[in-house]
Structure formats: C-alpha cells, structure tokens
Amino acid sequence: MTASPKVSIEMGVRGGGGAAVLDLEELLTTRLLVQGNSGSGKSHLLRRLLEQSAPWVQQAVIDPEGDFVTLAERYGHVVVDAERDEADLQRIAARVRRHRVSVVLNLEGLDAERQMRAAAAFLGGLFEADREMWHPVLVVVDEAQLFAPAAAGEISDEARKASLGAMTNLMCRGRKRGLAGVIATQRLAKLAKNVAAEASNFLMGRTFLDIDMARAADLLGMERRQAEMFRDLESGNFVALGPALARRPLPVRIGPVETAARSANPRLTPLPESPAAEDVHELIFTPGENEPSLPVPRRSPSVTPTAEVLAQLARSGPAASPAPAEPPPGLTPEQRQAAIDAALNEILSEKTGDFRSIATLYQDFLVRCRIRRIGGESLSLASFRRRLAAAHAGVDLAEAEAEGSPWGEVLGMAESLPEDAQGVFLSLARAAFDQRPCPSDAEVARAYGTRSPRRARRLLAYLEEQQAIVCRLDGRGRRIVAIPGPAWETEPGDPNAPESVETPEAPPAELPFG
C-alpha cells in the first residue's frame, strides 16, 4: 500500500537560495507563531500561507482589520460579518465545520471588547463541534495579542477571560479536534505566554525592542548576542524554525501574493495649492451641499479598575457626617494594627484561602476590618497583596525592611516580579534562608494559588528566566533552588513529593506581618 504524497507549499525563497517550503500536514499538528513589528510583512506572510494552502485545507481567519476579506473573490471564502450576537456566531461556526467551508470572520468596525467577545464565540463554536466534524481546519488569527493579552487592560474581565480561554483552547487542545492554530503578533511580550508556548513552528520578523528580540532568539534556540539581527531584517524577511519549516534557523524571504488587502500603506503626496486664508475658513466651517449629517458618537462606559471599585466598596455606608481621618477615639495605633493583623491571620488560617483570587480575599479582608470598626483605610490592595505574599512565606516585613537586614535585597527582587509571582518567590527565599528542603511542585503550586504542578513548573521556569532564582539538581535528581545576590540555597528536595499536610488538631500558627 503506497503512502499518500506529502503536501508541501512554497512560502518563498531560502536565504542561501532555493525554495522555502512548508510541510502542511506537519503544520496541522504543530501550530505556527509569527512575530514582527508593524510593517515587517506579517499580513503578507499570512496571505501567502492562506493562498498557497487554500486548495488543500479548510481555513478560518480571525480578521480584526478586514484585510483578508479579499480572499473571498479569488478563493471562495465566505465573509462572516461579526455584527451579530454571540449565540448566532457560535451556530455559524458549527455550520462552518459541518459543511467544511473556508471563512473570514470580519471584526472591522467593532470596538476592542466586542471584537474579543465575537472572536471567543466563533472560536468556541469551532472548538465545540461534534466529533464527526473534526476535519482539519487552519485557524489563522491576526493580531493575536488583541485576543490573548499578556496583561489585563481596560477590557472587562469577563470578555478578556472568554477570549483568552478560546485562544488557549485553540493552541493547547485544538489539535485533537483538527484545529491548527496560526497566530501572528506584533510583540511577543504582549501575547499570553501559555498561548505562545504551544507553537512548535516560528517565523520571526523585524523587531526593535530588546525584550522581544531576546524572546525571539530564545524561541529559535539562538544565542542572546545573535538577537540584534532581528533589527536588521527587511520587510518580508523572516527567520524560520520548526518541524514544518526547518530544523535549524533559516532566513526566508516571503514570495508574492495574488490578492491584496483593501487598505494600503500611506504614501507621501504633494499638498494641494493652498487657497487664501478666508477661503480656507469657508471650506472648513461651512457645511457643503448635500453633506450627510453624522450621528453623535456614543461614549463607551469607562472601565473602573478593580482596586478603585474595592476601595469604593470599603468606603460605602449610610450617609453620615464625614469620618475623621485619624483612628476613632478609644482605638490606639497599636490596637488598630493588631486588629488588622488579626483580620489577615483569620483569612490565612482558612484552608481554602490559597485558592481564592486576590480580589475576593481583599474584599473579605475589608469586611472583617469593618466588623472590627477599624477607622480610615485599612490597607490598599497593593499593600494587602504584598503583606499577604510575605505572610504566606513567613517573612516578617518589619524585620525584613529594617536597616542592615539581609532581606532588603530579596524584597527589592520580589517587587520587580509580577504581583502573582511574588509570594512564590518569597516562599522559596524563605526556604533557602532557613536551609530547608526545596519545596515540591505541589507545594509551589499551592503557594501560587493553584492545584496544578504543571503551572508550578512553568512559574519556576519563568522565575529562572527573570534571573530571580537558579535551579539545579543534585546527583539523586533532587532540586535545589538558589537566590542570586545573597547566595542562599535550599537543601535538596524531591520535586515530585506530595504536598505536606498539617495535623488537623494543631491550631493554625500566628503569621508575622510586621
């Protein structure tokens, strides 16, 4: 029985000459990530890929700018206008998989939040299709950082989580359902890491920021000193790596395309001859004949940051005379601090506290402070997060911040990390300071607020990438974590050991807050 012929498409010209080919069948199982600053030729690359693969595989394009709708006339793609409700988009996506039709989801004209909701609904419909419809589909997402942002912005949490979840499903779990993700982004730093990490093929174009060049070099297995080359790449030139492209980093110049985007790059043209000053005023301020009247734009409601909302909730109460800024009579500063510490210790003593979000814990803390009638603002959200991280690690902030304390440098390192990683870093530092065995993956996961050892290992890799820790194994495969700077080291510990469980009869220990 003869094997089916391998399907390869030509992407352009290799750096040393010859055709640069992409193994389409391999791409369907290994996914692709494209990075390049604006003007580097990402959209041209995606268009070349779509045109060359159109006869071989069904395609679904998530198009935030309406650039790919021109594929419809030449290649028969159906353009889906995203000006629909989410349930309708899910039903359309299910029909797309059932009838194996190539489509372009046109998100042009929608604001950022509606784009995220529409993309999440459409991707969800593709993902949730019945098993008999799991035929191969090339799912191309342009400007992927809009749909899988690395950090929260002005978009509502609900829309961001729905979009990020859909993108994560596409890249992490889509392969078994026949969905092959191809994502393009202007900056790797703006793209969620768990989405970018699932790609095995890379095409890296021109970029200028050091952090993006360093990440591109890391993904391609290049040395950091070689990262400068990404600044010198011309538009349309990329460095390729991956099982579907090349086994070693390979310069590629993308070939021509048959269709074009509706938008074109702006070109300089001479200004018209300037009329007299009074004529200019007449042209600008006098309505022209048959000039249509434009509707007044509706203002989108501004999104209030979570910290501000929680602070407003803390200040809310029945109308009364303004409360004094100082603590109420009868409550000394020492008593007030003791009451705050008691509220924090109550939260930490609850077994489920580690797996609740910071926002939920902070609201619980504010309620407990109001029950104790602690006057004024007890703690800001940032201060609460910092003290909670220190408490989980068993670090006394008052002693650690004292002059000459060996913890000063460690606290400075913690503040340079993302807020959700500070508690884990301080826990590792405390174990190293006490020369205790290195925490297992399960213990690191609990400190991170999750039950997933895999996420714990990813966090440790991220901390090591940020040069906050150094991990190594001893001769028996046990892990040792070192803290650069003070040169503290943990004792060897088994990374696969189960999480230690405290004796239920033992009362919870008081945790130091300083």
Residues 114-123 pLDDT 10s: 999 999 999 9
The model's confidence at residue 260, banded by pLDDT at 50, 70 and 90, is: confident
- Count: domains in the chain: 3
What phi-psi label fits residue 390: left (phi over 0), alpha (psi between -120 and 50 degrees) or beta? alpha
CA-to-CA distance for 159 and 116, rounded, in angstroms? Answer: 6
The pLDDT tens digits for 351-400 are 554 556 666 777 777 888 778 777 666 677 767 777 777 776 777 766 66
Do 397 and 475 reside in the same domain of the chain?
yes
| pLDDT-above-90 percentage for the chain | 33
Residue 3 lies in a domain: no
Alpha-carbon gap, residue 512 to 378, rounded angstroms:
17
289 within some domain: no
CA nearest to 427, candidates 454, 405, 456, 401: 456
Would you say residue 100 has pLDDT above 90?
yes
Alpha helix (H) residue ranges in 59-206: 71-75, 86-99, 112-127, 157-168, 193-196
Amino acid at the residue 171: M
Q: Which domain holds residue 338?
A: 305-316+327-379
56, 83 Cβ separation under 8 angstroms: no
- pLDDT score, position 278: 61
**Is 172 exposed, middle or buried, given 0-12, 13-18 or 19+ CB atoms closer than 10 A?**
middle
Burial category of 359 from C-beta neighbours within 10 Å (exposed 0-12, middle 13-18, buried 19 and up): middle
Residue where one domain finishes, among candidates 379, 396, 421: 379
CA–CA dist 69, 92 (Å, integer): 17
Query: Which pLDDT belongs to residue 508?
Result: 37
Given a cut of 90, whether residue 334 has pLDDT beyond it is no
Whether 250 contacts 15, CB under 8 Å: yes
- Checking if the pLDDT of 444 tops 80, the result is yes
Q: Which is more confidently placed, 432 or 378?
A: 432
Query: How many Cα atoms are found within 13 Å in the side-chain-facing hemisphere of 236?
Result: 12
- 169 DSSP 8-state letter: I
Provide mean pLDDT across the span 492-507. Answer: 63
The single residue listed with the structure tokens 């501000």 is: 308
Q: Which of 111-115, 120-124, 193-197 has the lowest mean pLDDT?
A: 193-197
pLDDT band at 50 (very low <50, low <70, confident <90, very high): very high
- Asked if residue 282 belongs to a domain, the reply is no
Same domain assignment for residues 34 and 166: yes
Of 364, 379, 394, the residue that ends a domain is 379
- Residue 313 has a pLDDT of 66
Q: How far is CA 66 from CA 32, 37, 132, 147, 506, in A?
A: 21, 19, 31, 16, 63
Most confident of 155-169, 312-326, 444-458: 155-169
**Owner of token pair 């030509």:** 10
Per-residue model confidence (pLDDT) at position 363: 77
505 pLDDT band, cuts 50/70/90, is very low
For residue 300, being part of any structural domain is answered with: no
The helix (run of H) or strand (run of E) holding residue 219 is helix 210-219
- Kindly report the CATH number assigned to the domain that includes residue 31: 3.40.50.300
Residue, of 398 and 135, whose pLDDT is higher: 135
Residue 134: inside a domain, yes or no? yes
* 147 pLDDT more than 90: yes
Q: Which residue has better confidence, 265 or 55?
A: 55
CATH, residue 510:
1.10.10
The answer to whether 180 and 31 are in contact (CB under 8 A) is yes
| pLDDT at residue number 504 | 36
**Cβ atoms of residues 241 and 215 within 8 Å:** no
147 and 53 share a domain? Answer: yes
pLDDT at 465 over 60: yes
Per-residue pLDDT at 507 exceeds 50: no
Q: What tokens does 359 get? A: 């926002």
The pLDDT, as a whole number, for residue 426 is 87
Sheet holding 470-473, edge to edge: 470-473, 479-483, 488-489
Residues 343 and 393 in one domain: no
pLDDT digits (tens, 9 = 90+) for 171-186: 988 888 999 999 999 8
Least confident interval from 105-119, 275-289, 296-310, 313-327: 313-327
Same domain? 428 vs 351: no
Proportion of the chain above pLDDT 70, given as a percent: 82
Kindly report, residue by residue over 21-31, the tens digit of the pLDDT. 999 999 998 99
Whether 277 shows a pLDDT value over 90: the answer reads: no
Is there a domain that residue 286 lies in? Answer: no
329 against 342, higher pLDDT: 342
Mean pLDDT of 245-271: 83
Closest CA to 86 of 110, 60, 58, 61: 110
- What's the confidence (pLDDT) of residue 353? 47
> How confident is the model at residue 387, as a pLDDT?
74
Sign of CA dihedral 118, 123, 129, 133: positive
- Whether the per-residue pLDDT at 257 is higher than 80: the answer is yes
**Mean pLDDT across 264-281:** 69
The amino acid sitting at 384 is F
Indicate the SS3 state at residue 299. coil
Write out pLDDT tens, residues 227-238.
888 888 898 999
Within-domain flag for 321: no
- 110 and 51 fall within a common domain: yes
Return the CA Rg of the chain.
Answer: 28
- Whether 385 and 237 map to the same domain: the answer is no
Q: What is the pLDDT of residue 299?
A: 55
pLDDT at 390: 75
Asked whether residue 492 is domain-assigned, the answer is: yes
Query: Both 52 and 117 in a single domain?
Result: yes
Burial code (b: 16+ CB inside 10 Å, e: under 16) for 37-50 equals beebbbbbbbbbbb
Residues 371 and 387 occupy one common structural domain: no
Average pLDDT on 431-445 reads 90
What's residue 451's pLDDT?
Answer: 79
Alpha carbon distance 49, 262 (integer Å):
18
Mean of the per-residue pLDDT values of the chain: 81
Q: Is the predicted pLDDT of residue 154 greater than 90, yes or no?
A: no
The whole-angstrom separation of Cα 431 and Cα 514 is 19
137 forms beta bridges with 58, 179
DSSP E strands in 373-507: the ranges are 470-473, 479-483, 488-489
Q: How many residues does the chain have?
A: 514
| pLDDT-based confidence at residue 156 (cuts at 50, 70, 90) | confident
